[in-house]
Amino acid sequence: MPTTFVRAIRDALYEEMKRDENVLILGEDVGILGGAFKATEGLLEEFGGERVIDTPISEALIIGSAIGAAILGLRPVAEMQFGDFISCGFDQIVNMAATLRYRHGGKAQVPIVVRAPSGAGVHGGLFHSQNPETFFFSTPGLKIVEPATAYDVKGLLKASIRDNDPVIFLEHKFLYRRIQEDLPSEDYVVPLGKALVRRGGSNLTLITYGAMVHACLSAADQLADEGAEAEVIDLRTLKPYDREAILGSVKKTNRVLIVHEDRKTGGIGGEIAAMLAEEAFEHLDAPILRLGSQDTHYAFSPPLEEFILPNTEKIVSKARKLLEY
Amino acid sequence: MKLTRAFEDRVSKLHRQGKILGGVYSGMGQEAIVVGVCHGLLKEDFISPIHRDMGAFLIKGVDAKVLMAQLMGKRTGLSKGKDSFLHAGDLSLGVFGATSMLASSLPVAVGAALKFKLKKEKYVAIAFFGEGASSRGDFHEALNFAGIHRLPVIFVCENNFYAYSTPQNLQMAIEDVADRANGYGFKGVVCSGNDLHAVMKAAHGAIARAREGEGPTLIECKTYRYHGHSEHDQPWYRPQEELIEWESRDPIPRFEVFLEKRGHHIDKIRKEAEDEIRQRIEAAVRFAEESPFPEGPEALEDLYADPL
Amino acid sequence: MAQKVVMPQMGESVVQGTVAKWLVKEGDRVKEDQPVVEVSTDKVDVEIPSPAEGVLSQILVREGQTVDVGTDLALIDAGQAAAASPSAKTPETAKGPAEEPSARPPEPVQESSELEERRRLSPLVRRLSKEHGVDPASLKGTGLGGRVTKDDILRSTARSAEEKPAEVPLNSESSKAQPPKTRSAPAGPPGVAEYTPPRSEVKEGDEVVPFTRMRKLIAAHMVSSKRTAAHVTAVAEVDVSEIVRLRREHGARLKEKEGIELTFLPFIIVGTVGALKEYRVLNATVLDDQIIIKKEINIGIAVDTQEGLIVPVLHQADELSILGIAKAIGELGEKARQRRLSPQEISAGTFTVTNPGRKGNLFGTPIIFQPQVGILRMGEVKKRPAVIEVNGEDALAIRSLMYLSLSYDHRVIDGVTANGFLHRTRELLEKGSFGL
């Protein structure tokens, strides 16, 4: 029986809470309702109100109290109902959590996970579609993870809970019920900091994460029909990103297209492109190309959303330009 | 209290000598609050002091040497030089370092109290803040949650009537910050912050209640800050008479009077205290001055518990 | 109606010419066939006649500028009366069809935009072309606008991209040889479609022998050398009867007493070295557009081994006696066969002598070892009837004769020089005493 992406999240939480009594969940509507997306369904019944806490609408409190509990030994998993609301807890993440270990002389740790349903394509409009990774990308002391498959979301969430640093865990809501696969019943983790080659190829490299991984794989199939083999790299962890994997692939194919749903200008694709230009200059047979959302807000009306977001067609078209060069 | 005052005095001088860099925030005049509240706390009790509460660190057991080194940015300080002043703590002694975002540590203190409740421990969390910090959203979110779940946390407001230059009437529409507690479903208490005994009474009562699971208390201590907001601030915005009036209520002489009335030989006590204090402070300054600065590349350390 | 004065093609390989001198001014009246400008090309200086009668209304290319063949140099206004606009500075009047980019003064070398596209090299292509010793300008690119891509480089080389010569059986300098950065012509004459040779099929019964590393290196070197130098071969017939006699006289003794093998090769080397001292330009290498005439005379001696040709180098051969040369040859040959040569022993050669041996046939057209400019090949010694002079009279005799083939790089050595060198070599070989 295949497990959906969102169910895999739920299972990961369940298993970790069973495994470690210090794991607890807090957020809006996580207990009684089981979460706005049902990611915490049934956990209140199983573990009780002290470990699954329905909070007031207080993002700063959700994250701040998670920090307070974490430094004394608990492992809280804080949920932002929508990733868009993470901005209400920005100070707690960037100034409190990210600096805590640093200013306490290395004698404290903040093992929190902040889960945030992000991403567009669900007619969410401006405040239910955001991709907040760049808000935190340059803040030291944080880790940022964005899985693309049901297998990975379960393994990475477990790894994030067991990790001793603050992890921003971005769950692309487009994938919640749209993808599923059979998952192993035994315990497994997917390591943080390691990208995965989803598809091997020798003509060009597609570097991507989140929902765009699937669009890239579809694009790669189309490109294969046209005689070009695309290598698709799923970053999985955004901070820190797997430089070795990226460099290894680009040195092989010499042509690279970075695809993410976040806006093109200021998206993390810029950092990756600059790193490649710096460290793989002599391996580039074409300019480094990027594809992201248009530099505007995630508008609501369908034709606008269609125009704004990357998709398989746009990826194929951009990849063709890269190959033609 | 004398230790705190003497310590702060020295710090102030060192700052003006250029030996302590950055901002230094004096709590002179307010010493009774931290002393009164923290007196008798357990090591595991969690306190989150504000920038004026050097005394809190000392009472909870942080070595004056380490604290002085912290202020001088030396490697032997709490932060190993990473942040200045009181943004660092020592969790093994139950001291949590705040950030510059006032009131942001209140939710963290609430989180600590949450842990104590979950683990059925009898410890308490104490969050200090100024009256200005109570204007921030984090104050509201923290007290609201603490009230809902009756968490073992005490909120101690050090109301010295000025947030930097902003007088209380521009900070809030009410007289007593303690009145806010009502809105969160628990008790608010006002006391004289310069009366050591008053503070101790209010604090011990609140702490005992918290330990018994009766939930939070908001204690407002009215006090006055002798120096400016920071050592580089000349508080011309305050009327001179105000300062004079409050100086007459200085907590230290007040306590000395109390001791004398109880039959203690105040001169002898004072002398012994001052000798001991002087020695400790000189030792602290010596230690800090002789301690090494951290080296540049150390700036990259201590970011992650699990570096990838 | 405007006519144009155009840069002509003076010779098949000429692609550019320089305007040397304008013989008329803007505004001058010219007659048909009247010389209007002197141009100079690689081959020849020439006057260009006006194509029509009229007024030279606009000069488009200034003196000293070099332009591609076919570029418009000036406009003739054929229909104009005597009063022509004498504006020499700003050509406002006769704009016409003459909007060539070549009219812009600061660019002496005119390039069509297509040529520019082709020259655009990505960092990867630049690196690969350096590593493989391939000149991208000599390739036809399959990328956008004719850009040379990585695949183009790889297809054009015999070696695989990962190859890096560790042990160097060849003359190590030649294996590092770069094709010179000359202004090479576009690949192939215009109008000729690119030829793709048919691919060899492997059928049952065929034996497939993969290239060894050495074979790959040799293959690449040979092709590269052919593409780099302008090979011409001249052949001389040398009467080696005297050498035969000396060999007979001294050979056995030297072999027995000193273990020296006195073959023909040491003699040829002595003669070659003597001639090189006089014709120094053959003891040279090419670097970009410079001839580096080498001070040392280091003779490379091609040796055939099981795996292929190796060329150990006899350093400062001009300071060795013939016996010294013979001894050194013996040692080098032995080391070469045992693959024990050191890097110094296979590097810094300035001229090569190759001896195919007893079954070497009459003559050949050897390939120059880069970056040298000449190579001398020995042929078989054959006894033939020949005419000699005895007491002032012609007589018939049986003489031992050998053909010496000299391949030389006609980029830097002209026929006169090459023939002079070859002639001198022959002289030294026929008349020399060799100090024995």
% of chain C exceeding 70 in pLDDT: 79
Task: Please report whether residue C221 resides in a domain.
Answer: no
Q: What is the pLDDT of residues A166-182, one digit of tens each?
A: 999 999 999 999 999 99
Q: C285 in helix, strand or coil?
A: strand
3-state helix, strand, coil in chain C (%, to 5): 30, 25, 45
Same domain, C150 and C61: no
A interface with C, Cβ–Cβ < 8 A, is 254, 281-286, 324-325
Parallel, antiparallel, or unpaired: how do β-strands C393-409 and C231-239 relate? antiparallel
- In whole angstroms, give the CA distance from residue B287 to residue B291: 6
- In whole angstroms, give the CA distance from residue B305 to residue A106: 8
Q: What is the pLDDT of residues A93-128, one digit of tens each?
A: 999 999 999 999 999 999 999 999 999 999 888 999
Distance from CA of A276 to the nearest CA of C (A): 12
State the pLDDT at residue B21: 58
Place of tokens 């570096």: B307
Q: Which two tokens stand for residue C20?
A: 């040397």
Q: Which two tokens stand for residue B230?
A: 């920071």
The answer on pLDDT for A131 being more than 60 is: yes
Nearest CA in chain A to B91: A108
Closest CA to A124 of A173, A78, A157, A163: A173
Same domain, C76 and C120: no
Distance from CA of A2 to the nearest CA of C (A): 44
Nearest CA in chain A to C130: A282
Same domain, C315 and C419: yes
* CATH number, domain containing residue C247: 3.30.559.10
Q: Enumerate neighbours of C (3 or more CB pairs within 8 A).
A: A
- In whole angstroms, give the CA distance from residue B258 to residue A16: 57
State the pLDDT at residue C169: 41
Q: Enumerate neighbours of A (3 or more CB pairs within 8 A).
A: B, C
* CATH number, domain containing residue C137: 4.10.320.10
Partner-chain residue, chosen from A254, A281, A324, that has the shortest CB–CB distance to C150 = A254
Pairwise CB contact (< 8 Å): B80 & A56: no
Considering its fold, how many domains does chain C have in total?
3
Name chain B contacts of A108, Cβ cutoff 8 Å: 89, 91
Closest CA to C212 of C79, C339, C344: C339
Q: Tell me the backbone φ, ψ of residue C233, rounded to 5 degrees.
A: -120, 130
State the pLDDT at residue C43: 55
Same domain, C9 and C157: no
Pairwise CB contact (< 8 Å): A71 & B145: no
Write down the H helix ranges in chain A: 5-19, 43-47, 59-71, 90-91, 98-103, 133-136, 150-162, 212-225, 243-253, 268-279, 302-308, 312-324
Q: Choose between C140 and C176: higher pLDDT.
A: C140
Kindly report the number of other CB atoms within 10 A of residue B45's CB atom.
24
Partner-chain residue, chosen from A281, A285, A324, that has the shortest CB–CB distance to C150 = A285
Place of tokens 């690279």: A256
Segment B176-201 shows an average pLDDT of 94
Cβ-Cβ pairs closer than 8 A, A with C, add up to 25
Q: C348 in helix, strand or coil?
A: coil
Strand segments (E) across C70-148: 72-77
Pairwise CB contact (< 8 Å): A281 & C123: yes
Pairwise CB contact (< 8 Å): B110 & A61: yes
Task: Please report whether residue C206 resides in a domain.
Answer: no
- In whole angstroms, give the CA distance from residue B80 to residue B98: 16
Q: Do chains A and B touch (3 or more CB pairs under 8 A)?
A: yes
- Residue finishing a domain among C130, C163, C196: C163
Q: How confident is the model at residue C213 (pLDDT cuts 50, 70, 90)?
A: confident
Mutation target for B interface from A47, A65, A99, A168: give the one with most B CBs within 10 A. Answer: A65
Parallel, antiparallel, or unpaired: how do β-strands C284-287 and C45-49 relate? unpaired
Partner-chain residue, chosen from C124, C143, C147, that has the shortest CB–CB distance to A284 = C124
Pairwise CB contact (< 8 Å): A65 & B79: no
The answer on pLDDT for C179 being more than 70 is: no
Distance from CA of A112 to the nearest CA of B (A): 12
Q: How confident is the model at residue C422 (pLDDT cuts 50, 70, 90)?
A: very high
Mutation target for A interface from C118, C121, C122: give the one with most A CBs within 10 A. Answer: C122
Q: Do chains C and A touch (3 or more CB pairs under 8 A)?
A: yes
Q: How confident is the model at residue A278 (pLDDT cuts 50, 70, 90)?
A: very high
Domain containing residue C241? 230-431
Instruction: Return the CA Rg of chain B.
Output: 19
Q: How confident is the model at residue A130 (pLDDT cuts 50, 70, 90)?
A: very high
* Cα dist from A266 to A144, A161, A165, A213, C31, whole Å: 16, 29, 25, 20, 67
Partner-chain residue, chosen from C122, C126, C127, that has the shortest CB–CB distance to A286 = C122
State the pLDDT at residue C98: 41
Same domain, C392 and C254: yes
The pLDDT mean for chain A works out to 96
Q: Choose between C57 and A113: higher pLDDT.
A: A113
C interface with A, Cβ–Cβ < 8 A, is 122-127, 143-144, 147, 149-150
Closest CA to C383 of C400, C404, C365, C364: C400
- Per-residue burial over B105-132, b if 16 or more Cβ lie within 10 Å, else e, is bbbbbbbbbbbbbbeeeebbbbbbbbbb
DSSP for A197-230, please give it. EEE--SSEEEEE-TTHHHHHHHHHHHHHHTT--E
Name chain C contacts of A254, Cβ cutoff 8 Å: 124, 150
Q: Which two tokens stand for residue B267?
A: 């001169």
* CATH number, domain containing residue C26: 2.40.50.100
Burial class for C164, CB neighbours closer than 10 Å (0-12, 13-18, 19+): exposed
- In whole angstroms, give the CA distance from residue C18 to residue C3: 20
Q: Which two tokens stand for residue B247?
A: 């100086």
Parallel, antiparallel, or unpaired: how do β-strands A143-145 and A237-239 relate? antiparallel
Q: Which two tokens stand for residue A230?
A: 């695309």
Bridge partners of C384, per DSSP, are C399
Q: What is the pLDDT of residues B252-305, one digit of tens each?
A: 888 888 878 887 777 888 888 888 888 888 888 899 999 999 998 898 999 999
Task: Please report whether residue C242 resides in a domain.
Answer: yes
Pairwise CB contact (< 8 Å): A325 & C144: yes
Q: Which two tokens stand for residue C1?
A: 């109606």
Backbone region of residue B72 per phi and psi (left: phi > 0; alpha: psi in -120 to 50; beta: other values): alpha
State the pLDDT at residue A153: 98
Closest CA to B127 of B148, B92, B149, B151: B151
- In whole angstroms, give the CA distance from residue B291 to residue B279: 18
Q: Find out whether C237 and C403 touch, Cβ atoms under 8 Å.
A: yes
Distance from CA of A14 to the nearest CA of B (A): 18
Same domain, C269 and C149: no
- In whole angstroms, give the CA distance from residue C73 to residue C47: 13
For the ranges A38-42, C24-28, C197-201, which has the lowest average pLDDT? C197-201
Q: Which residues contact C383 (CB under 8 A, 6 or more apart)?
A: C398, C399, C400, C401
Name chain C contacts of A203, Cβ cutoff 8 Å: none
Mutation target for B interface from A72, A74, A190: give the one with most B CBs within 10 A. Answer: A72
Partner-chain residue, chosen from B97, B105, B111, that has the shortest CB–CB distance to A103 = B97
Q: Enumerate neighbours of B (3 or more CB pairs within 8 A).
A: A
Distance from CA of A60 to the nearest CA of B (A): 6
Residue count of chain B: 308
Q: Which two tokens stand for residue B268?
A: 């002898």
Name chain A contacts of B106, Cβ cutoff 8 Å: 64
Pairwise CB contact (< 8 Å): C123 & A254: no
Task: Please report whether residue C61 resides in a domain.
Answer: yes
Segment A58-82 shows an average pLDDT of 97
Distance from CA of A250 to the nearest CA of C (A): 11
State the pLDDT at residue B1: 73
Q: Find out whether C47 and C35 touch, Cβ atoms under 8 Å.
A: yes
Q: How confident is the model at residue C79 (pLDDT cuts 50, 70, 90)?
A: low
% of chain B exceeding 90 in pLDDT: 47
- In whole angstroms, give the CA distance from residue A10 to residue A34: 10
- In whole angstroms, give the CA distance from residue A177 to residue A4: 6
Task: Please report whether residue C32 resides in a domain.
Answer: yes
The answer on pLDDT for B24 being more than 80 is: no
Q: Looking at this protein, which amino acid is placed at residue C234?
A: A
Bridge partners of A169, per DSSP, are A115, A145
Distance of CA A154 to the CA centre of its chain: 12
Mutation target for C interface from A229, A250, A254, A256: give the one with most C CBs within 10 A. Answer: A254
Q: How confident is the model at residue B234 (pLDDT cuts 50, 70, 90)?
A: confident
Closest CA to B242 of B131, B156, B162, B132: B162
Q: Tell me the backbone φ, ψ of residue C17, rounded to 5 degrees.
A: -145, 160
Q: Tell me the backbone φ, ψ of residue C193, rounded to 5 degrees.
A: -65, 150
Distance from CA of B253 to the nearest CA of A (A): 36
- Residue finishing a domain among C80, C99, C133: C80
Q: What is the pTM of this model?
A: 0.64
The answer on pLDDT for B144 being more than 70 is: yes
Q: What is the pLDDT of residues A200-237, one digit of tens each?
A: 999 999 999 999 999 999 999 999 999 999 999 999 99
**Secondary structure string (H, E, C) spanning C402-417:** EEEEEEEECCCCCHHH
Same domain, C125 and C75: no
Element (H, E) at C219: helix C213-228
Question: How large is the ipTM?
Answer: 0.89
Q: Is A128 a catalytic residue?
A: yes
Q: How confident is the model at residue C119 (pLDDT cuts 50, 70, 90)?
A: low
* Cα dist from C163 to A198, B141, C213, C337, whole Å: 30, 67, 8, 24
Q: Which residues of C are catalytic?
A: 410, 414
Same domain, C141 and C274: no
Instruction: Return the CA Rg of chain A.
Output: 20
Q: Which two tokens stand for residue C56?
A: 């030279």
Same domain, C297 and C421: yes
Closest CA to A165 of A229, A89, A84, A108: A108
Kindly report the number of other CB atoms within 10 A of residue C280's CB atom.
14
DSSP for B36-72, please give it. HHHTT--TTSEEE--TT-HHHHHHTT--HHHHHHHHT
Pairwise CB contact (< 8 Å): B305 & A109: yes
Q: A26 in helix, strand or coil?
A: strand
- In whole angstroms, give the CA distance from residue C195 to residue B255: 106
Mutation target for C interface from A205, A278, A285: give the one with most C CBs within 10 A. Answer: A285
Instruction: Return the CA Rg of chain C.
Output: 29
Task: Please report whether residue C183 resides in a domain.
Answer: no
State the pLDDT at residue C9: 65
Q: Choose between C287 and B134: higher pLDDT.
A: B134
Kindly report the number of other CB atoms within 10 A of residue A140's CB atom.
12
Pairwise CB contact (< 8 Å): A65 & B114: yes
Name chain C contacts of A253, Cβ cutoff 8 Å: none
Same domain, C427 and C344: yes
Peptide bond into B239 cis (omega under 30): no
The answer on pLDDT for C188 being more than 70 is: no
The answer on pLDDT for A37 being more than 90 is: yes
Segment A14-24 shows an average pLDDT of 98
Element (H, E) at C291: strand C290-293
State the pLDDT at residue C170: 40
Element (H, E) at C22: strand C16-22
The answer on pLDDT for B93 being more than 50 is: yes
State the pLDDT at residue B275: 84
Write down the H helix ranges in B150-263: 168-171, 180-184, 196-211, 240-247, 251-261
Q: Looking at this protein, which amino acid is placed at residue A117?
A: P
- Residue finishing a domain among C80, C103, C137: C80
Task: Please report whether residue C208 resides in a domain.
Answer: no
Q: Find out whether A258 and A235 touch, Cβ atoms under 8 Å.
A: no
Q: Tell me the backbone φ, ψ of residue B168, rounded to 5 degrees.
A: -60, -35
Q: B280 in helix, strand or coil?
A: helix
Same domain, C75 and C143: no
The answer on pLDDT for C165 being more than 70 is: no
Partner-chain residue, chosen from A282, A324, A325, that has the shortest CB–CB distance to C123 = A282
Same domain, C390 and C243: yes
Task: Please report whether residue C207 resides in a domain.
Answer: no
- In whole angstroms, give the CA distance from residue B124 to residue B161: 27
Pairwise CB contact (< 8 Å): A325 & C147: yes
Pairwise CB contact (< 8 Å): C124 & A324: no
Pairwise CB contact (< 8 Å): A324 & C147: no
The pLDDT mean for chain C works out to 80
Bridge partners of B90, per DSSP, are B95
Q: Do chains B and C touch (3 or more CB pairs under 8 A)?
A: no
Q: Choose between C188 and C357: higher pLDDT.
A: C357
